[in-house]
Every structure is written in C-alpha cells, then in structure tokens.
Amino acid sequence: MRAYRLLAVLTTLFLIGIAHAQYPAKSVRMVIPFPPGGATDIVGRVVAQKLSERWGQPVVVENRPGAGGTIGSEAVAKSAPDGYTLLIATTSTHAVGPVLQKLPYDALADFTPITLLAHSPNVLVVSPQLGAGSLTELIAAAKARPGSLSFASSGNGTITHLTGELFKLMAGLDLLHVPYKGTALSVPDISSNRVSMLFDNIVSAQPHIRTGNVKPLAVTTTKRAALMPELPTMAESGLPGFESSAWFGLFAPAGLPTDIRARVHEAAVAALNAPDAKERLVAAGADPAGESGEDFVRQIRADMARWSGVVKAANVKVQ
C-alpha cells in the first residue's frame, strides 16, 4: 500500500512538472476590472496581444468592471493559481482602494505581483461648456458656487476618486463626487456639462481631448507630460506640491508556482520591449516599465502609505 501511495504521489508530481514545462498549454484569461476604452483596457490589450504572439496561445481579455475595479480583482483572487488567469490591476485596485475601504481581498496577500507594466500621468479635464480655460478659473468658479460643481471618477476608492479628493483638499473646494464604473462612461456627461470635471489618465483621456469632448487644463505629475508638453502641471497652475499618477500592473492569484511566475514575467517584459508594443504605449501616453515583482511590491506599499495620508487628511469616506 505504501508503495502504491508513493507511486501515486510521484506520478502526480511528474504530471505537474509536465504541465509546468508546457505552460501555457491552453488559452490564458486576462481580466481587466474596468470597461473597454479606459486606460487599463488600452494597456492590457497591448500586453495581451504580445503575450499571445509569444506563447502561441490565445490570451483572452475579459472586462469585468464594477465597484472601482474590485469585482474583477476579486474574481482573480479566487481563481486557481495555475497561470491561466491573470489580472491587469492599477493604483486604484491595489494601492488606493485598500486604504480607503474594506475590500473582499488583500491587495498583497491574495495575489502574486508579476511586474509593473507601465505608469502614466493623470490629466484634469473639464466640460467645454463650463467656460473654465485654466485651473485658476476653475477654482474661482467652484468657490463662487460651493457644492454646484462635480467631479467624475472610475468608482469609489479609485485613483481618479482620490485625486479629486486631493484637489478638493488642497484648493479648499466643495465638489460633488460622481462615481462611474469607468472613466470612459463619464465622458458623455462631462461633454454635456452634467458633470463638471474628471482627473482621467492621459492614456484614456487623449482620444476625448482630440475630439473636443473634454477640455484639458493641467497634468497632475511634477513634470509636464511628454505627450502633451503644452499643458502645465497642477503645481505650475497654482497648487504647489500637487502630484498624482497611475500605474498598471500584471498580477496572478496568490500561490502561483515560481517557475510559471518567472515565465510570465519574462514574457511580459519581452512584450513591453517589443518595438510595436512600446510605440503604441508611448503614443498613448504610457511609459513602459517591466521591473521585478519585488520592486513592484515596494512601489505598491509606498503608494498605500502616500494615499492613506490623503484619506486621513481629507477625511474621505466611501458611502
């Protein structure tokens, strides 16, 4: 009986070894926890295409929006850690949300961080009908009518939400927060002035800026964005010290085998370095990264500490 059990264990280990050696032997699901058309979706689809080409297996993108990215992220956290379910997560899902509210997952313990894919600045855009041509004019309009202007976000507990709260805090404004399932869904309301403004990622904001649906006023990073060098920073426009940017990262469920993690990391870095992928990301306003999982974790922890300070200072609460 002991010999039989030993043989069974050895056979199982042998089969697992074969499965790992052949990874990926079937299609891979990539969950994007926001709607199509947003910054996360744009970055994720570029990476998914290159992974599929490299592996010779389909990488199927699945958009699962809702609750500021929580629904899709939770689905991945509860998936099997076999490398066949991946997540494109963001500052919102893994650095901002966890310090703002109780989530159905632990942003670090329930995931295997694989690599930081890219980072990019946010940009303040307003309704063309609002009549604000600069940050100074926007602040003046908001102070003249306390509580009458509003800002959109991609959901409660997201980077777009907290950036708006930081703006309220630093400028001393009373603004109404209007959450959506993704920033792309808010554009029609901003264009028609049903909602006044949005701190969108430059990746997803760029097409709407070009069409004139929204008007850009400033970028939220300490330096001007290479993609839109004509736009001043928030600091240059009258709010010294204002800073907010976004990152996009690749995750798997916790417990991903080390060898599969290494293979996914290698493939993801190769995807980011592919000339056509890099060109598409840079053109969209994203700066490709590709650092180690350990360095990525340090970035997440630093952002958690930073946004936790904003939450406390602004007394932000999610209803």
Nearest to 35 by CA among 191, 154, 203: 154
- For the domain that residue 43 is a member of, what is the CATH number? 3.40.190.150
Containing structural domain, residue 87: 26-120+245-313
> Average pLDDT, whole number, for the chain?
91
Is residue 236 classed as helix, strand or coil in its secondary structure? coil
**Does 12 reside within a domain?**
no
Residues 166 and 250 both lie in one domain? no
Residues 91 and 189 both lie in one domain? no
Residues 66 and 215 both lie in one domain? no
Q: By CB neighbour count within 10 A (0-12 exposed, 13-18 middle, 19+ buried), where does 198 fall?
A: buried
Phi, psi angle pair for 48, to nearest 5°: -60, -40
Nearest to 271 by CA among 254, 252, 293, 290: 290
Q: By CB neighbour count within 10 A (0-12 exposed, 13-18 middle, 19+ buried), where does 145 fall?
A: exposed
**Does 142 reside within a domain?**
yes
Residues 72 and 214 both lie in one domain? no
Is residue 87 classed as helix, strand or coil in its secondary structure? strand
**The domain boundary residue, chosen from 193, 213, 244:** 244
- For the domain that residue 180 is a member of, what is the CATH number? 3.40.190.10
Highest averaged pLDDT of the listed ranges 34-38, 84-88, 120-124, 314-318: 84-88
**The domain boundary residue, chosen from 224, 244, 264:** 244
Task: Tell me, yes or no, if the pTM score tops 0.85.
Answer: no
For residue 171, the 8-state DSSP code is H
**Does 252 reside within a domain?**
yes
Condensed to tens digits (0 to 9), the pLDDT of residues 109-127 reads: 999 999 999 988 899 999 9
- Note the pLDDT of residue 44: 96
- Note the pLDDT of residue 11: 45
Residues 138 and 234 both lie in one domain? yes
Average the pLDDT over 49-60 and give the result.
97
Q: Which amino acid is at 216?
A: P
- Note the pLDDT of residue 100: 84
For residue 95, the 8-state DSSP code is I
d(CA 300, CA 129): 38
Residues 160 and 232 both lie in one domain? yes
The sign of the torsion formed by the CA atoms of 146, 149, 154, 160 equals: negative
Q: How confident is the model at residue 227 (pLDDT cuts 50, 70, 90)?
A: confident
- Note the pLDDT of residue 71: 95
**Does 222 reside within a domain?**
yes
- Note the pLDDT of residue 18: 46
Q: How confident is the model at residue 8 (pLDDT cuts 50, 70, 90)?
A: very low
Q: Which residues of 17-41 are buried (b: 16+ CB within 10 A; e: fewer)?
A: eeebeebbeeebbbbbbbbebbbbb
Highest averaged pLDDT of the listed ranges 11-15, 21-25, 167-171, 302-306: 167-171
**Does 11 reside within a domain?**
no
- Tally of structural domains, the chain: 2
Which of 3-17, 118-132, 133-147 is predicted with the least confidence, judged by mean pLDDT?
Answer: 3-17
Average the pLDDT over 289-299 and give the result.
91
Q: How confident is the model at residue 38 (pLDDT cuts 50, 70, 90)?
A: confident
Q: Which two tokens stand for residue 94?
A: 């893994």
Is the predicted pLDDT of residue 2 greater than 70, yes or no? no
